Amino acid sequence: MKNEFILNKHNNQVAWIIGWIVLITLIICTESAYAITLVKSDPAGGTGGRRSIVSTPPAQIQLWFSENVNQANISLSVYAEDGSLVTDATPQVTANDPTSIIVPLPALTAGLYTVEYYVTSTSGQSINSEYTFRVKEEENSSPVISTQTLIDTETLLNWAENTYAEFFPDHQITQNIEPWLFRHYPQTNIYAGVNTNDNNVYVLGGPWGNNPAFIDTLSNLSALIANSNNNNNGNGNNSNNRTPTCDTTNAPAGLLYTQNSTIVNVTTNGECIPLPENTNLCPIPQQTSATGISLITFYTATSSVIKGVENPFYPAMSASAFTPTREILEAQYCTINAPEETVSLIVNADFCYDMTAEINESTLPIMRGTTTINPPVTFATKGVFKTVVSQRDCFASGATIITDAATGEMWKRQEDDSYIKVSN
């Protein structure tokens, strides 16, 4: 009898333990059945040390989940390898697939990118995770011309036009046919340029004959021109830094311009310069007559980094969170009576502004914790200014700055969306 009692007691304990195991298993299975998970991504992601490498920079991020997504409670951010924010645009649930979201991307360069996402399903389940992918370096058999060579060549050829107008009349666009960066002057049938294989300067035609004549090294002539500019122009601006498309007359010191066809490159060459009053890097030169063409120019940043402002809760602070930098990133420029050749203009920008004077308590974003300013405060960004034909009146476009290329007039938008004329 005693043995039977002990046996029954033991069986009850075993049954009780088995019951709890079954219950816990059911709970886990039920939660797993309703938990939202990432099914796939495009571009594909790598985690746990694995790498996902794409040859072509993606135009968008698309994620697919195991449940329908709640549009009202999703977010996605993409960060570059240096920690700078690439985009934090709100994802959109795709119209034909409620389990998928899409975020458009600006133009990406080669490097590692991290995608952080938070998604809630329509059933209330959520997922907060991240993955990485790498954009492979573009394979290019053509030799890469350094930025400094491009800048020095533009400065040299502009200087030649200003100094020896009898040989190099009118301003011509620099052409690139390997290994030459050169300009051709039809009126005199003279060619002037740089051989990028040896970085020497040559001239062909006119008094120099029918074979390229060596003049000097590019470095020697650049030093000569720089010394001439320092002696003749104390403010750092000079007419040698110009393009046929952009009016650089009032360009701040430190901005360097080059142009090839309808593509203009503007850079501060790794330095940070004071924030200019007009942040339009390529204002259109004044025209002799009205064209009736209105153009909208807007900036798309591929990277933006602000330094000199710290918050322990936000180690990678977004440049778009600050009033002055946000105004630069979101600025639009409308040009009235623009010349036809600027319709397809693209301006590649790589610049840095010293914004110590502009960043203060009133321009700091509202953030948890203590935000401290450690001068200098700098804002570095890379991106593209693109120009499109405006279908609306410039004054109804919401543009930040409006200019009339025929009259030289300029207007700036006020806080109430009205415009005030700032120059005649």
pLDDT-above-90 percentage for the chain: 27
The answer to whether 334 and 397 have CB atoms below 8 angstroms apart is yes
**Chain segment 372-406, per-residue pLDDT in tens:** 788 888 989 888 888 888 777 899 888 889 999 99
The answer to whether 69 and 122 have CB atoms below 8 angstroms apart is yes
**Chain segment 158-182, per-residue pLDDT in tens:** 888 888 889 998 778 788 888 999 9
399 with 294, same domain: the answer is: yes
The answer to whether 329 and 299 have CB atoms below 8 angstroms apart is yes
Find the domain containing 13 and state its range.
Answer: 1-34
What's residue 352's pLDDT?
92
Q: How many domains does the chain have?
A: 4
Instruction: Answer with the one of 78, 108, 135 that is the final residue of a domain.
Output: 135
232 with 248, same domain: the answer is: no
Winning range, highest mean pLDDT, from 14-23, 94-103, 228-237, 320-329:
94-103
- Supply φ then ψ for residue 122, to 5 degrees: -70, -15
Q: Is the pLDDT of residue 49 over 50?
A: no
Instruction: Answer with the one of 108, 135, 162 that is the final residue of a domain.
Output: 135
- Among the residues of 83-190, which ranges form H helices? 147-163
**Sign of the torsion formed by the C-alpha atoms of 381, 383, 387 and 388:** negative
What's residue 34's pLDDT?
55
Over residues 120-146, mean pLDDT: 81
The two beta strands, 332-336 and 295-310, are antiparallel
| Alpha-carbon 330 to chain mean position | 12
What's residue 189's pLDDT?
94
The two beta strands, 401-404 and 332-336, are parallel
Element at 98 (helix H, strand E): strand 97-104
Over residues 317-323, mean pLDDT: 63
Banded pLDDT at 192 (limits 50, 70, 90):
very high
295 with 205, same domain: the answer is: no
Average pLDDT, the chain: 80
234 with 256, same domain: the answer is: no
251 with 280, same domain: the answer is: yes
218: helix, strand or coil: helix
The residue with greater pLDDT, 263 or 273, is: 273
390 with 404, same domain: the answer is: yes
Q: How far is it, in rounded angstroms, from Cα 33 to Cα 21?
A: 18
In this structure, the number of other CB atoms found within 10 A of the CB of residue 149 comes to: 18
**22-36, 42-56, 71-85, range with the lowest pLDDT:** 22-36
Contacts (Cβ under 8 Å, ≥6 apart) of 78: 61, 85, 86, 87, 88, 103, 105, 113, 114, 115, 116
Q: Is the pLDDT of residue 141 over 60?
A: no
281 with 417, same domain: the answer is: yes
419 with 343, same domain: the answer is: yes
The residue with greater pLDDT, 1 or 414, is: 414
Contacts (Cβ under 8 Å, ≥6 apart) of 337: 287, 289, 290, 291, 292, 293, 294, 404, 405, 406, 407
What's residue 259's pLDDT?
75
The residue with greater pLDDT, 155 or 412, is: 412
The residue with greater pLDDT, 371 or 199, is: 199
3-state helix, strand, coil in the chain (%, to 5): 20, 35, 45
116 with 89, same domain: the answer is: yes
What's residue 15's pLDDT?
57
- Among the residues of 35-146, which ranges form H helices? none
Instruction: Name which of 373, 412, 153 is nearest 260 in CA terms.
Output: 153
347 with 374, same domain: the answer is: yes
pTM to 2 decimal places:
0.47
Q: Is the pLDDT of residue 224 over 90?
A: no
Distances in Å between the Cα of 424 and the Cα atoms of 1, 11, 408, 410 are 113, 98, 6, 7
Q: Is the pLDDT of residue 5 over 50?
A: no
The residue with greater pLDDT, 269 or 391, is: 269
**15-19, 151-155, 406-410, range with the lowest pLDDT:** 15-19
257 with 315, same domain: the answer is: yes
Over residues 326-335, mean pLDDT: 83
Residue 260 pairs with which residues in a beta bridge?
A: 263
Over residues 189-215, mean pLDDT: 94
Instruction: Answer with the one of 135, 168, 187 that is the final residue of a domain.
Output: 135
What's residue 212's pLDDT?
94
With b for 16 or more beta-carbon neighbours within 10 A and e for fewer, the 84-97 pattern comes to bbbbbeebebeeee
- Work out the burial of residue 101: count CB atoms within 10 Å of its CB; fewer than 13 is exposed, 13-18 middle, 19 or more buried: buried
Banded pLDDT at 299 (limits 50, 70, 90):
confident
Q: What CATH number has the domain bearing residue 97?
A: 2.60.40.1220
Q: How far is it, in rounded angstroms, from Cα 378 to Cα 79?
A: 19
221 with 357, same domain: the answer is: no
